[in-house]
Amino acid sequence: MKQPSLRTFALAGAGAALALGMSTSALAATEIQFWHSMESALGDRVNQIAADFNASQSDYKIVPIYKGNYEQGLAAGIAAFRAGNAPAILQVYEVGTATMIQARKAVKPVWQVMKDAGEPFDEKAFVPTIAGYYADSKTNHLVSMPFNSSTPVLYYNKDAFKKAGLDPNTPPKTWADVKHDAEKLKASGMSCGFTMGWQSWTQLENYSAWHGLPFATKNNGFDGPDAKLSFNGPQQVKHIQFLADMAKAGTFTYVGRKDEVTSKFYSGDCGIAMTTSGALANIAKYAKFSYGVGMMPYDADVKGAPQNAIIGGASLWVLAGKSATEYKGVAKFLNYLASPAVAAKWHQDTGYLPVTKAAYELTEKQGFYTKNPGADTAIKQMLNKDPLPFTRGLRLGNMPQIRTVIDEELEGVWSGKQTPKAALDKAVQRGDDLLARFAKQGS
Amino acid sequence: MAHNSRERPRFGTGWLPYALVAPQLLITVVFFLWPAGEALWQSTSTQDAFGLSSEFVGLANFTALWGDPLYLASFRTTMIFSTLVTVCGLVISLLLAAMADRVTRGKRTYQTLLIWPYAVAPAIAAVLWAFLFNPSIGLITYGLAKFGIEWNHALNGGQAMFLVVLASIWKQISYNFLFFYAGLQAIPRSLVEAAAIDGAGPIRRFFGLVLPLISPTTFFLLVVNLVYSFFDTFPVIDAATGGGPGQSTMTLIYKIYSEGFKGLDLGSSAAQSVVLMVIVIVLTVVQFRFIERKVQYA
């Protein structure tokens, strides 16, 4: 009796396998590779978005793949392109924008992708200061898709403020306040009053925009590749001197080039930390005290300040050389990302900015900002004032290296080895060499 | 040199020896000569990151390097770094091997513990040490603070150098240990015992007898470690300090890596790797010509 039953099983199994194989080939969705740099919790969110999109239709399948941090992801994308094996969508950090724009033959601009695919796409729906960073400076069309954008904000420890005799509901507004509050925090026994991360981005790029000062000529490089750096003006020198004095007095502690400050803050070591709005998720998860979020401080004696913040983070690029079907799927997916519900959820889950005005309004309507005070600080900074021609963002080649140059020179200031003026002059000179090199590579 | 008159084995055909070394030759060509040639070619051009346009610029990439004081400074950094890694690494490993050689009980445990770090990837080794020395949450930082030492390698160049040297040495100790240990074990006990009977103390025995006997091993390790510190240490630096603070831990190899992979400036990066290649070739030749003379092969 056993023999036939086994055979039936085998036959049934084979039949099922055959049917399954046929059904998958009949419904084969076009696979679209999406390389990104979103780690751990953020990566889970990206996977979820892709899964939701895939479930919403059956023609296309987005395959998100984590390719290391921003630098590694960009290098991997470029290597794959050179080998003729590039993904359809590549996430590139904001300072890689000029590199991508320069590679005309390697990139298909997002507005073109949408137009060719016949997808309705409203470029005006995006927050102007975000879209401006990724817009073609001549046509004003979007060349890449805004995805995860952030701005620097000020986190402060309310419990420590209370202990130091400060008002826990008043974050420092000006740089003079920062110094005053940091002194009080130190006096109350805290080892570190104020700290900041991503120093080029927070203390020079955003400081300049926030005070209505250019970071480079040619409208920060938007008007042409032959821009020269100009962040060594008297106001910036004054600001770096201000921080150097704080470092000397022990009220500002430097802990590293990247997001080392986040753990410094949520561990309770530092009372005030200036870093990316994207750090909010981690701070919310780990901080065992009540904290507040304030806007970037400004210097009250600068006319017109505060102006508007400029973004960090990354955008999504569509690479060249794919089939029309694939581009159609890419267009559908990018539109899905920009839809108010998806963009609003991404913003609420991660602390990144809402990239469209509709996503911002939806989040507000859902009462998210009342439940999570401070979550709207970043977007308020973006919408603070209409951007000036040179506060839309940066469009400078070799920008990752320029940031490293700034890190190196500023570290010389914090350790007392050189004056702020000398450091900024040197950084500008070294940065200009890098800009010139970049312009030559593209020709 | 008077040669031994023993008959050497001979192959009947002319092609067999070539066929036997062919795989090795192929690997050398594909993985060493070809990339080296590619680097030479790229060092004479500038191109955009995507390789869409490339322009021959002759030696411009090299002249740009010589005009860069920071590039020249990284030579000094590299020399300090590689000397520290090589010398300290060899001395510590030899010390450990000599001690393990004397151990009679629990020998296996010592060996295993000492060989362990070799299984750890360089980047992980660096992260591990960077964690211990983390300016805010590091265990060692906490301990040092108790002695009044303020540790912040994000700001203090000397401390940053100490950290990357420490991580690099720790990573390489196992490898050195294995060779030293094998070398020590190969020394005939009778020789050491004879010296002991002649009245030589442990220190005299070590420097007068043991050290010369393991000199081939030491020489081999010297070359390997120097190459290691020149070429294989960039993941350590990348994970622990990123070349900073300032450029205090910016070695030549890390500069190549950061400008080529992060900055996507392939021309300059290729020119730097050609320079580094020449340096290591010269260093190796120097070692073989001058230091190897002092080596006694048994």
pLDDT in tens, A203-213: 999 999 999 99
Give the model's pLDDT for residue A421.
97
R_g of chain B computed on alpha carbons: 23
The answer to whether residues A54 and A61 touch, using CB atoms and an 8 Å cutoff, is yes
Mean pLDDT of A59-86: 91
User: Can you tell me which residue has the tokens 């989040």?
Assistant: A363
B263 chain-A contacts, CB cut-off 8 A: 398, 400-401, 404
B245 chain-A contacts, CB cut-off 8 A: 408, 411, 415
Q: Which residues on neighbouring strands pair with residue A316, listed in sequence order?
A: A91, A145
Of B117, B80, B81, which is closest to residue B96 (Cα–Cα)? B117
Per DSSP, the residues of A370-396 read: HHSTTTTHHHHHHHSSPPPTTSS----
Of A178, A175, A154, which is closest to residue A166 (Cα–Cα)? A178
The answer to whether residues B125 and B171 touch, using CB atoms and an 8 Å cutoff, is yes
Q: Which of B136, B259, B265 minimises the CB distance to A263?
A: B136
How close is the nearest chain A Cα to the Cα of B166, in Å?
A: 20
User: Can you tell me which residue has the tokens 């490339």?
Assistant: B54
Helix residue spans in B67-156 (DSSP H): 69-102, 107-115, 122-132, 139-146
The answer to whether residues B227 and B54 touch, using CB atoms and an 8 Å cutoff, is no
Give the model's pLDDT for residue B26.
95
Task: Tell me the CA end-to-end span of chain B in Å, nearest whole number.
Answer: 16
Residue A314 to residue A146: CA distance in whole angstroms: 7
Residue A68 has pLDDT above 80, yes or no: yes
**Residue pLDDT, tens place only, B259-272:** 888 888 888 899 99
pLDDT band, very low/low/confident/very high, at B6 (cuts 50, 70, 90): low
Tell me which of A71-85, A90-104, B47-61, B188-202 is least confident.
B47-61
What backbone phi and psi angles, to 5 degrees, belong to B46? -115, 145
A105 chain-B contacts, CB cut-off 8 A: 50, 52
Of A440, A431, A441, A427, which is closest to residue A396 (Cα–Cα)? A431
- Cα-to-chain-centroid distance, residue A304: 26
Of A439, A443, A360, which is closest to residue A398 (Cα–Cα)? A439
Q: Which of B244, B264, B267 minimises the CB distance to A78?
A: B264
Residue B216 near chain A (CB below 8 Å): no
Residue A156 to residue A293: CA distance in whole angstroms: 6
Determine how β-strand A270-276 pairs with β-strand A192-196: parallel
Which residues, 6 or more positions from A68, have their beta carbon under 8 angstroms from its beta carbon?
Answer: A37, A76
Does the distance separating the beta carbons of A71 and B259 come in below 8 Å?
Answer: no
How close is the nearest chain B Cα to the Cα of A408, in Å?
A: 4
How close is the nearest chain A Cα to the Cα of B245, in Å?
A: 6
Q: Which of B244, B259, B265 minimises the CB distance to A257?
A: B244
Q: Which of A254, A267, A442 minimises the CB distance to B154?
A: A254
Residue A335 to residue A344: CA distance in whole angstroms: 14
pLDDT band, very low/low/confident/very high, at B208 (cuts 50, 70, 90): confident
Percent with pLDDT over 70 in chain B: 96
Residue B265 near chain A (CB below 8 Å): yes
How close is the nearest chain A Cα to the Cα of B26, in Å?
A: 23
How close is the nearest chain A Cα to the Cα of B110, in Å?
A: 37
Q: Number of CB pairs < 8 Å for A and B?
A: 98
Q: What is the mean pLDDT of chain A?
A: 89
pLDDT band, very low/low/confident/very high, at B114 (cuts 50, 70, 90): confident
Q: Which of B52, B243, B258 minimises the CB distance to A105?
A: B52
The answer to whether residues B30 and A58 touch, using CB atoms and an 8 Å cutoff, is no
Does the distance separating the beta carbons of A408 and B244 come in below 8 Å?
Answer: yes
Tell me which of A60-74, A249-263, A412-426, B103-117 is least confident.
B103-117
Measured over all CA atoms, what is the biggest interatomic distance in chain B, rounded to whole angstroms?
A: 75
Residue B10 has pLDDT above 90, yes or no: no
Is B147 strand, coil or helix?
coil
How close is the nearest chain B Cα to the Cα of A381, in Å?
A: 30
User: Chain A residue with minimal CA distance to B47?
Assistant: A441
Torsion of CA B38, B39, B44, B45, to 10 degrees: 70
Residue A158 CB coordination number (10 Å): 17
Mutate to test the interface with A, among B38, B46, B48 (most CBs of A within 10 A): B48
pLDDT band, very low/low/confident/very high, at A32 (cuts 50, 70, 90): very high
**Residue pLDDT, tens place only, B38-67:** 899 989 988 888 878 888 888 888 998 888
A440 chain-B contacts, CB cut-off 8 A: 46, 55
User: Chain B residue with minimal CA distance to A269?
Assistant: B136
Residue B212 near chain A (CB below 8 Å): no
Of A146, A144, A37, A36, which is closest to residue A100 (Cα–Cα)? A144
Residue B5 has pLDDT above 70, yes or no: no
Residue A371 to residue B2: CA distance in whole angstroms: 91
Per DSSP, the residues of A319-338 read: ESS--HHHHHHHHHHHHHHH
One-letter amino acid of B270: A
Give the model's pLDDT for residue A411.
94
Residue A18 has pLDDT above 70, yes or no: no
Mean pLDDT of A71-80: 91
Q: What is the mean pLDDT of chain B?
A: 87
Q: Which of A106, A255, A404 minimises the CB distance to B50?
A: A106
Residue B3 has pLDDT above 80, yes or no: no
Of A280, A299, A293, which is closest to residue A168 (Cα–Cα)? A293
Structure tokens at B142: 């906490």
- Domain B69-294: CATH superfamily, name plus number: MetI-like (1.10.3720.10)
pLDDT band, very low/low/confident/very high, at A93 (cuts 50, 70, 90): very high
Residue A26 has pLDDT above 50, yes or no: no
Q: Which of A103, A263, A414 minimises the CB distance to B48?
A: A103
Q: Which residues on neighbouring strands pair with residue A126, listed in sequence order?
A: A356
How close is the nearest chain A Cα to the Cα of B270, in Å?
A: 14
Residue B50 to residue B264: CA distance in whole angstroms: 9
A417 chain-B contacts, CB cut-off 8 A: 246
Residue B268 near chain A (CB below 8 Å): yes
Residue A13 has pLDDT above 70, yes or no: no
Mean pLDDT of B267-291: 89
CATH numbers and ranges of domains, chain A? 30-150+312-371 (3.40.190.10), 152-309+397-440 (3.40.190.10)
Residue B155 near chain A (CB below 8 Å): yes
Residue A117 or B105, more confident: A117
Give the model's pLDDT for residue B192.
86
Does the distance separating the beta carbons of B264 and A99 come in below 8 Å?
Answer: yes
Residue A25 or B205, more confident: B205
Helix residue spans in B103-214 (DSSP H): 107-115, 122-132, 139-146, 157-185, 189-197, 202-205, 211-213
Residue A187 has pLDDT above 50, yes or no: yes
Residue A355 to residue A346: CA distance in whole angstroms: 10
Does the distance separating the beta carbons of A417 and B267 come in below 8 Å?
Answer: no
The answer to whether residues A297 and A173 touch, using CB atoms and an 8 Å cutoff, is yes
Structure tokens at B185: 């074990």
Residue A208 to residue A278: CA distance in whole angstroms: 21
Give the model's pLDDT for residue B106.
81
Give the model's pLDDT for residue B115.
86
User: Would you say how long chain A is, in residues?
Assistant: 443
Mean pLDDT of A105-113: 94
Return the DSSP state at B111: H
pLDDT band, very low/low/confident/very high, at A308 (cuts 50, 70, 90): very high
How close is the nearest chain A Cα to the Cα of B235, in Å?
A: 13
Residue A7 has pLDDT above 80, yes or no: no
Give the model's pLDDT for residue A20.
47
What backbone phi and psi angles, to 5 degrees, belong to A335? -65, -35
Mean pLDDT of A147-173: 95
Percent with pLDDT over 70 in chain A: 93
Ordered by start, the domain boundaries in chain B are 69-294
Task: Tell me the CA end-to-end span of chain A in Å, nearest whole number.
Answer: 80
Enclosing H/E stretch for A369: helix A368-371
Residue A240 or A439, more confident: A240
The answer to whether residues B242 and B157 touch, using CB atoms and an 8 Å cutoff, is no
Q: Counting beta carbons within 10 angstroms of the beta carbon of residue A303, is it exposed (0 to 12), middle (13 to 18) or buried (19 or more)?
A: exposed
User: Chain B residue with minimal CA distance to A405?
Assistant: B246
User: Chain B residue with minimal CA distance to A270?
Assistant: B136
Mean pLDDT of A340-348: 94
A263 chain-B contacts, CB cut-off 8 A: 136-137
A415 chain-B contacts, CB cut-off 8 A: 155-157, 245-246
Return the DSSP state at A355: S
Residue A5 has pLDDT above 50, yes or no: no
Residue A213 or A17, more confident: A213
Residue B123 near chain A (CB below 8 Å): no
Does the distance separating the beta carbons of B154 and A256 come in below 8 Å?
Answer: yes
The answer to whether residues A282 and A275 touch, using CB atoms and an 8 Å cutoff, is no
Percent with pLDDT over 90 in chain A: 68
Give the model's pLDDT for residue B7.
63
Residue B180 has pLDDT above 60, yes or no: yes
Q: Which of A72, A75, A264 minimises the CB distance to B136?
A: A264
The answer to whether residues A171 and A228 touch, using CB atoms and an 8 Å cutoff, is no
**Residue pLDDT, tens place only, A401-410:** 899 999 999 9
**Torsion region of A199: left, alpha or beta (phi above 0 gives left; psi -120 to 50 gives alpha):** alpha
Helix (DSSP H) and strand (DSSP E) numbers for chain A: 21, 10
Mutate to test the interface with B, among A403, A415, A429 (most CBs of B within 10 A): A415
pLDDT band, very low/low/confident/very high, at B8 (cuts 50, 70, 90): low
A104 chain-B contacts, CB cut-off 8 A: 52
Residue A336 to residue B24: CA distance in whole angstroms: 54
Residue A357 to residue A364: CA distance in whole angstroms: 11
A78 chain-B contacts, CB cut-off 8 A: 49-50, 264
Tell me which of A180-194, A223-237, B22-36, B144-158 is least confident.
B144-158
Residue A79 to residue A53: CA distance in whole angstroms: 28
Does the distance separating the beta carbons of B136 and A260 come in below 8 Å?
Answer: yes
Does the distance separating the beta carbons of B50 and A81 come in below 8 Å?
Answer: yes
